[in-house]
Amino acid sequence: MTDLKSRLTDPTLLKSASFIDGGWVDSSDTFEVRNPADGSLVAKVADIGAGGAHRAVDAAARAFQTWKKTPVFERARIVRRWHELIVEHASDLGAIITAEMGKPYKEARGEVVYGAGFISWAAEEAMRLHGETLPTQAPGSRGWTIHQPVGVVACITPWNFPSAMISRKCGPALAAGCTVVVKPAPETPLSALALAELAKRAGFPAGVFNVINGKAEVLGPVMTGAPAVRMIGFTGSTEVGKLLMRQAADGIKRVSLELGGNAPFLVMDDADVELAADGVMASKFRAAGQTCVSANRIIAQDGVADALIKALKRRVEKLKVGSGFDERTNVGPLIHQEAVEHVSALVEDARTRGAKVLVGGQSLSAKMGGAFYAPTLIEAGEDQGLDMATSEIFGPVATVYRASDEAEMIRLANDTRHGLAAYLYTNDVGRVHRMSEALEFGMVGVNAPMVGSPSTPFGGMKESGIGREGGKWGVEEFTELKFVMLGGVDR
């Protein structure tokens, strides 16, 4: 799809870098998007400012009056068409992701298709959103429920999944009858703009789908403050999630927050060690470790710890680091140099506390001319209170901790303010039930390193968030449940 690809290089298209009320909007104020693999300039994108954000919210509010009444059959038809166009153009959309945030192209293309799945699933779910008739206490009365769209939704999305996090929020919101204003991360505005182009082609009426680019500190308060915005959907850090929740509190706006994680990856004595090692690799090194569901603490039971470390060492040593456009690359760059410095500091802290660095353990930025960190394997020593045990690593560093029994593993796993995803490797079915029930996490992968799917609920407990994306829950999230009571029936 050369026309979308050309958005990466065509200066006239790139000047028109927000999509408001069905059209491209320009601004002379711009910010740069750089490829983290080599620092090259990918694009200059227009910063739309507070005025643009207000225009987008007003357009979405106007469009909501019609979109909410559009028969769900018609809404679902357009949403499905959007899905088809995204899948058709997955290769170019994948290339855009790799250019703006660096993940290997195969993963990037996979992200596009994964995210698109949430759109088509939501189109079907919205067709089956129905209320119930209910018995009521008052004589001669009847009651029933209806699901109605919440209204204008502000979707604030991250750079680590620049396509899928938009699809996962906007597919369900649009199918449910809401209109949206998307504010992508400044690192990755191009995926959002490409999705807007495809939304336009799919036939969404003007104002139903809007994308605005600019500074978070300017656009964020407009979105949380505007009375017309009834819901904030956000994926990102817990700190920013708290800030948005505070800002949304004034207008009692609904929030759906998918925030940071600190995923434990538990490997029990009875587990298949090779399967567990494959699982760690898939969970830990996807997007160079920059996912909220990435295995942050690998906790191995004593009887299996040595074998697991050996199996991981073999695998980590083989990983190839490089540009996401090189098809041999397994681990791409981190999003920017500050991210490399964050990971370096965590590894240095581990070293000073007696952890053994078995593979990697250094920045590759100077050598490779981009924001790279070596795939790293660490074995924690006696001191298990490493900084990286309590904060998100968000980099390609796998650290193994040891524990003696089930009770200790559960205690360690739950010893975090986060509660997004946990992983459990065991072949004991009793343990599967006992431990998955005891883990204080929104999602538990048992002998499975991936927990996201368009048909299932994605979201966290504790400080990892509120609400669920995916499946029927992801669509219901964007609706208000209304109760209607009818009196005077049995006259």
| Residues noted as catalytic | 258, 292
Between residues 52 and 162, which has the closer beta carbon with respect to ligand SIN?
162
Under the criterion CB under 6 A, does residue 167 sit at the interface with ligand SIN? no
From the list 49-57, 211-219, 287-295, 401-409, the region that binds ligand SIN by CB under 6 A is 287-295
| Residues 42, 35: Cα–Cα separation, whole Å | 6
If one asks whether residue 224 binds ligand SIN (CB under 6 A), the answer comes out as: no
Q: How far is the CB of 306 from ligand SIN (least distance, A)?
A: 30
161 lines the binding site for ligand SIN (CB under 6 A): yes
C-alpha 94/C-alpha 101 separation (Å) is 11
Could you give the dihedral angle defined by the CA atoms of residues 155, 125, 471 and 92, in that order, rounded to the nearest 10 degrees? -60
CB of 192 to ligand SIN, least distance (A): 16
Which residues are within 8 A (CB) of 352 and not within 5 positions of it... i.e. 6 or more apart? none
CB of 103 to ligand SIN, least distance (A): 12
**C-beta of residue 380 within 8 angstroms of C-beta of residue 298:** no
Given the rule CB under 6 A, which of 35-43, 221-229, 290-298, 432-440 is the region that contacts ligand SIN?
A: 290-298
Among 291, 301, 330, 416, interactor with ligand SIN by CB under 6 A = 291
**Only segment of 286-294, 319-327, 330-338, 345-353 that touches ligand SIN (CB under 6 A):** 286-294
Q: Of 125 and 406, which CB lies nearer to ligand SIN in the complex structure?
A: 125
Q: Write down the least CB distance from residue 294 to ligand SIN, Å.
A: 7
How many CB atoms sit inside 10 A of residue 136's CB? 16
Q: Where are the alpha helices (DSSP H) in 318-375?
A: 337-352, 365-368
Identify which of 181, 36, 175, 191 has the alpha carbon closest to the alpha carbon of residue 111: 191
Count the alpha carbons within 13 Å of 437 in the hemisphere toward its beta carbon. 6
Nearest to 288 by CA among 347, 324, 332: 332
**Per CB under 6 A, 292 contacts ligand SIN:** yes
How many Cβ atoms from other residues are within 10 Å of residue 366's Cβ? Answer: 8
**Residue 293 binds to ligand SIN (criterion: CB under 6 A):** yes
- Is residue 217 within 8 A of residue 93, CB to CB? The reply is no
Site string for ligand SIN, 437-466 (x = CB under 6 A): ---------------x--------------
Using the minimum distance from each CB to ligand SIN, give the nearer residue, 48 or 293.
293
Smallest distance from the beta carbon of 291 to ligand SIN, in angstroms? 4
Contact 300, 402 (CB under 8 A): yes
In angstroms, give the least distance from the CB of 118 to ligand SIN: 9
121 in contact with ligand SIN (CB under 6 A) = no
For ligand SIN, the closer CB: 122 or 311: 122
Question: Alpha-carbon distance 99 to 394, whole Å?
Answer: 19
Please give the residue ranges that form the binding site for ligand SIN (CB under 6 A). 161, 235, 291-293, 452
